[in-house]
């Protein structure tokens, strides 16, 4: 029996419309996104199997293209669907930062940075480029590292800030270990970048370290 043959109150799309998206299970959300299952397997059953295989919705969404496309029923098209969902969420969180001073809405900044970096498998270093009103010009992904380190060059950060005509910047990187505590190397790097940016009158407002359940502001820690 396909989903279209189920009672109307049990169909995922009808449930969403009738009860609201917050009442949907993870499997039902995936079912609405995918729209169809496999031969002999309804879309909800297929979604449940995927969640069981990857362990959670978060792990499914952050899985690599290679890992996902090895799963029967997941090809490039469905991998692209999942990536579009993630990017739409990132852009949703980014939009307010372009319309208001970022430090008036610190929670928005943290949500955006988590969406960008929390589930990355290796260390990524980026910069929020800000105008003179501290509104977001752009997020720039600058350096990729190994599982526990990234080679970051202050001169490249300065060059990009000049290209973006930034008046201020916020540094950000993730710790794939999930622990957001800044390391000694993080602190030294931050001070080097602050000094390099100061030569051009560009202010480093903060350096956020994104972990699994916590995002640490080095400015709040008095480290800048």
Question: What is the reported pLDDT for 1?
Answer: 47
Question: What is the reported pLDDT for 97?
Answer: 80
How many folded domains does the chain comprise?
Answer: 2
Find tokens 């899985």 and name the residue: 63
**124 & 179 share domain:** yes
Check if the beta carbon of residue 154 is closer than 8 Å to that of residue 196. Answer: yes
- The pTM is what? 0.76
To the nearest whole number, what is the mean pLDDT of the chain?
A: 88
Structural domain harbouring 14: 3-74
190-194, long-range: CB within 8 Å, 24+ apart, which pairs? 190/218, 190/223, 190/224, 191/224, 192/154, 193/152, 193/154, 193/157, 194/224
- CATH code for the domain in which residue 116 is found: 3.40.140.10
Q: What is the pLDDT of residues 196-218, one digit of tens each?
A: 999 999 999 999 999 988 999 99
**135 & 199 share domain:** yes
**198 & 110 share domain:** yes
Q: What is the pLDDT of residues 104-132, one digit of tens each?
A: 777 888 888 998 899 888 899 999 999 99
Is 84 inside any structural domain?
A: no
Is 93 inside any structural domain?
A: no
**125 & 213 share domain:** yes
Domain end among 39, 55, 74: 74
Question: What is the reported pLDDT for 142?
Answer: 93
| 51 pLDDT more than 80 | yes
Is 7 inside any structural domain?
A: yes
- DSSP label at 133? T
Is 94 inside any structural domain?
A: no
**119 & 197 share domain:** yes
The pLDDT-based confidence of 101 (bands split at 50, 70, 90) is confident
Q: What is the pLDDT of residues 161-183, one digit of tens each?
A: 999 999 999 999 999 999 999 99
Question: What is the reported pLDDT for 3?
Answer: 57
Query: Residues of 11-42 as b/e, b for ≥16 C-beta within 10 angstroms?
Result: bbeebbeeeeeeebeebbbbbbebeebeeeeb
**50 & 118 share domain:** no
Is 224 inside any structural domain?
A: no
């Amino acid at each position: 029996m396909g989903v279209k043959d189920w009672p109307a109150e049990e169909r995922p799309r009808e449930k969403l419309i009738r009860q609201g998206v917050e009442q949907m299970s993870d499997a039902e959300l995936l079912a609405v996104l995918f729209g169809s299952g496999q031969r002999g397997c309804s879309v909800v059953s297929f979604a449940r199997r995927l969640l069981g295989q990857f362990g959670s919705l978060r792990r499914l969404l952050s899985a690599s293209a290679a890992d996902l496309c090895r799963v029967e029923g997941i090809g490039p098209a469905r991998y692209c669907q999942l990536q579009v969902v993630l990017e739409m969420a990132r852009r949703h969180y980014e939009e307010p930062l372009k319309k208001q001073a970022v430090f008036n809405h610190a929670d928005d900044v943290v949500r955006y940075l988590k969406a960008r970096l929390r589930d990355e498998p290796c260390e990524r270093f980026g910069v929020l480029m800000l105008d003179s009103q501290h509104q977001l010009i752009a997020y720039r992904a600058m350096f990729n590292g190994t599982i526990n380190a990234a080679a970051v060059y202050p001169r490249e950060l300065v060059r990009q800030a000049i290209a973006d005509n930034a008046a201020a910047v916020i540094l950000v990187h993730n710790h794939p270990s999930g622990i957001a505590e800044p390391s000694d190397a993080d602190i030294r790097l931050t001070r080097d970048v602050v000094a390099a940016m100061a030569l051009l009158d560009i202010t480093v407002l903060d350096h956020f370290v994104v972990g699994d359940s916590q995002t640490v502001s080095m400015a709040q820690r008095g480290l800048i």
